[in-house]
Amino acid sequence: MIQQISSAASHPALSNSVLPRTSEGGSDRLQANRFHTGKYFEAKFGIAIMDQGKIVVEGTSEERITPNTVWLEYEFRGKPTDLRRRPPQWAPYHLRLDWMMWFAALSPSYAYSWFDPLVKKLLQNDAAILRLLRRNPFPDAPPQAVRATLYKYRFTTPRERRESRAWWTRTRVGEFLQPTTREGSMQRWRREVATA
């Protein structure tokens, strides 16, 4: 039993979250982030991806798209959208769509096979797809158009959180998918993640 616990605790992401901080033997790696999942992802993917973009999918009920069009965000169950929503804990469950959106922001070519069908289903208010989301901003009728915008998210500082009550702050990076309608074909979408 002790050997199993010792072996599990040797995993970087797990050991950094359960083992106490010490003044010797690894305190440097624990100072930046107690849970230090960045090392795990760096080992898995070869790069540190802590400051990665997030895709926000939005729809509108307006028939004519103008610079003043009001866009409403689809909320996903796990990934950040609502800036005031506390980051949820889903383990041991796996939110497949949220995970796929994370990879799409990292590498848009990953999403070529499934992102367009997702948008088409959102334009139809498809019940099976909507069950995967936390909130549909169009419960009564499907949206006229859907778009996707790329943002850089970061956690707010303690001071920012006290003032705004928001867990996140975000900066718009650019367009991931241009406004797309039921009648129109899928428009051009981003081929690379822009740097902020």
Question: Is the CB of residue 145 less than 8 Å from the CB of residue 179?
Answer: yes
CA dist 158 and 81 (Å) reads 19
**Averaged pLDDT in 10-residue chunks for the chain of 196 residues:** 48 45 43 44 47 87 93 90 81 83 86 91 95 94 95 92 92 92 62 40
Contacts 24+ apart (CB under 8 A), 10-14: 11/40, 12/36, 12/39, 12/40, 12/43, 13/37, 13/39, 13/40
Look at residue 119 in the predicted model and tell me its pLDDT: 94
Task: Please give the sequence-ordered ranges of beta strands (E in DSSP) within the chain, or none if there are none.
Answer: 53-60, 72-73, 75-76, 133-135, 145-155, 168-181
Look at residue 191 in the predicted model and tell me its pLDDT: 41
Look at residue 159 in the predicted model and tell me its pLDDT: 95
Task: Please give the sequence-ordered ranges of beta strands (E in DSSP) within 19-95, or none if there are none.
Answer: 53-60, 72-73, 75-76
Look at residue 38 in the predicted model and tell me its pLDDT: 46
Counting Cβ atoms within 10 Å, is residue 58 exposed (0-12), middle (13-18) or buried (19+)? buried
**What are the helix and strand counts (H, E) for the chain?**
8, 6
Look at residue 103 in the predicted model and tell me its pLDDT: 86
pTM for the model stands at 0.68
Look at residue 51 in the predicted model and tell me its pLDDT: 57
Look at residue 49 in the predicted model and tell me its pLDDT: 52
CB atoms within 10 A of CB 104: 26
CA dist 124 and 1 (Å) reads 53
Look at residue 99 in the predicted model and tell me its pLDDT: 86
Look at residue 18 in the predicted model and tell me its pLDDT: 47
Task: Give the chain's end-to-end CA distance (angstroms, integer).
Answer: 48
Look at strands 53-60 and 145-155 and give their pairing.
antiparallel
CA dist 24 and 131 (Å) reads 48
CA dist 178 and 58 (Å) reads 11
Look at residue 126 in the predicted model and tell me its pLDDT: 96
